[in-house]
């Protein structure tokens, strides 16, 4: 049975090359990859090539819990698309599109079975919104 797919999106007031660079650079991932202020990403690794791996350590700021979020890149079209398979076998597609004076980022992922679809959509959207704020603060 296919897993439900969820899509989140945002439009960023920045050029696509900057958006791509800040999405894929681990030094920037640690600055934006959190859904709320009580979480952070203290460590990020990214081998940006097809077959390469990425791992983001996500942790509660109070130190109570942490986990690694990772997977393998399955297709990369620089400045256009990233496709990857998470360690739990779910697939994710991230598209980067020109949009007026900026860049639209559209992220579609297979849902997991632990949290509600609404909670997953809200969490991934919150991270994407943090990414938008981070990029716009850099440009």
Specify the CATH number for the domain of residue 25: 3.30.530.20
- Against a cut of 0.75, is the pTM above it? yes
Q: What is the domain extent for residue 73? A: 5-138
In sequence order, what are the residues at sequence separation of 6 or more whose Cβ sits closer than 8 angstroms to the Cβ of residue 54? 44, 45, 46, 47, 48, 70, 71, 72, 73, 84
Report how many domains make up the chain.
1
4-56 per-position pLDDT tens digit: 999 999 999 999 999 999 999 999 999 999 999 999 999 999 999 999 999 99
pLDDT recorded at residue 2: 82
Which whole number is the average pLDDT over 62-86? 97
pLDDT recorded at residue 101: 86
């Amino acid at each position: 049975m296919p897993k439900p797919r969820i899509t989140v999106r945002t439009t960023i007031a920045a050029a696509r090359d900057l958006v791509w660079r800040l999405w894929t650079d681990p030094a920037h991932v640690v600055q934006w990859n959190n859904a709320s202020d009580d979480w952070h990403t203290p460590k990020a690794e990214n081998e940006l090539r097809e077959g390469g791996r990425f791992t983001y350590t996500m942790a509660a700021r109070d130190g109570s819990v942490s986990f690694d979020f990772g997977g393998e890149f399955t297709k990369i079209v620089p400045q256009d698309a990233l496709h990857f398979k998470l360690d739990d076998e779910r697939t994710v597609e991230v598209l980067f599109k020109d949009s007026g004076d900026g860049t639209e980022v559209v992220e579609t992922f297979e849902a997991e079975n632990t949290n509600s679809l609404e909670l997953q959509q809200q969490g991934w959207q919150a991270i994407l919104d943090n990414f938008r704020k981070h990029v716009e603060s850099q440009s």
